[in-house]
Amino acid sequence: MKLLVCISKAPDTTAKIEFKDNDSKFNSDGVQFIINPFDEWYALVRALEIKESQGGSVTIIHVGLAENDPIIRKALALGADDAVRINREATDALSVAEEIAAYAKDEQYDMILTGKETIDHNGSQLGGMIAELLELPSISLASKMDINGNSATLERDVQGGKEVIEIQTPFVLSASKGMAEARIPNMRGIMAARTRPLKVVEPIGQALYTKVNKYVLPVEKAECRYIDAENPSELWDLLKSEAKVL
């Protein structure tokens, strides 16, 4: 099976969120960047498992500048065969989807995988957009997948439960928790990743559809009000009369 996994860069989950240049840009000083966890833990690892059991290849695709090469190398160290970097800053989901679709349209992938969302912009947009541009079926928020020849059985989140569905390749999916278990690259993988091909492709350069004007941090919470553990029922009165949420 020929698989394409889209990865995005995200600040580490413990990173302090601060902004600069009049609150128009994320302040990346001292911030460790990682592969977006949904892309790595679920989409990439499941793709690698499919390759290991069925044969085939896993290609990484990333839209970003050369400074992001370390996260692409990490994806290769986990076991991907090769990688493509489209040389453009990723600032808007639809323009990123158009770049990926333009590259993928002649490559005949059996499956294109993304994470369910990025942990920075929380868009949950890319997979569906790529699918529409390539006129492929799409499955969002998939938490389980079994492959049988050219047919896949997936579980996806729907209102108040899960749905089990069957679909033939090719298709696009966005992966959520449950799809696979996170892996740690081993030394052999890290060494091999250095020499695996990383192709840089120039962007088609489509104009943006959205842009960030500014960032705002949430207002600080007031001090916590403590309630006596011996007499906790006071909580219900406060939630009713003071907080007015009951």
Partner 1 sequence: MSVLVYINNHGGNIHKNAFEAVAYGKAIADQTGTELYAALIGPADNAGDLGAYGALKVYHNNDGSFSNFDPSAITNALADIVAECSADIIVCSHDFSSKSIAPRLSARLKAGLVTGAVGLPNTQGSFSVTKAVYSGKAFAEIEILTDKKIICLLPNSIEFEKGEGSAEVIISSSSASSSGIQVKEIKKESTRLSLTEAELVVSAGRGLKGPENWGMIEKLAEKLGAATACSRPVADIDWRPHHEHVGQTGTVIRPNLYIAIGISGAIQHLAGVNGSKVIVVINTDPEAPFFKAADYGIIGDAFEVVPKLLDSAPTL
* Nearer to partner 1 among residue 192 and residue 235 (C-beta): 235
Angle at 29 between CA 28 and CA 35, to 5 degrees: 45
Report how far residue 134's alpha carbon sits from residue 107's, in angstroms, rounded to the nearest whole number.
Answer: 11
Of the candidate residues 35, 72, 84, 93, the single one contacting partner 1 (CB under 8 A): 93
Angle at 107 between CA 104 and CA 109, to 5 degrees: 85
Of the candidate residues 107, 186, 204, 209, the single one contacting partner 1 (CB under 8 A): 209
* Nearer to partner 1 among residue 83 and residue 127 (C-beta): 127
- Greatest C-alpha distance within the chain: 68
Q: Which two tokens stand for residue 142?
A: 């998939």
Of the candidate residues 35, 44, 131, 145, the single one contacting partner 1 (CB under 8 A): 131
Of the candidate residues 133, 190, 192, 201, the single one contacting partner 1 (CB under 8 A): 133
Work out the number of other CB atoms within 10 angstroms of the CB of residue 65: 14
Which residues in 44-83 contact partner 1 (CB under 8 A)?
Answer: none
Work out the number of other CB atoms within 10 angstroms of the CB of residue 182: 11
Minimum Å gap between C-beta 180 and partner 1 is 12
Q: Does 32 bind partner 1 (CB under 8 A)?
A: no
How many residues touch partner 1 (CB under 8 A)? 85
Binding mask 135-174 for partner 1 (x = CB under 8 A): xxxxxxx-x---------x-xxxxxxxxxxxxxx-----x
Report how far residue 122's alpha carbon sits from residue 133's, in angstroms, rounded to the nearest whole number.
Answer: 21
Angle at 55 between CA 107 and CA 105, to 5 degrees: 10
* Nearer to partner 1 among residue 66 and residue 245 (C-beta): 245
* Nearer to partner 1 among residue 69 and residue 132 (C-beta): 132
Q: Does 91 bind partner 1 (CB under 8 A)?
A: no
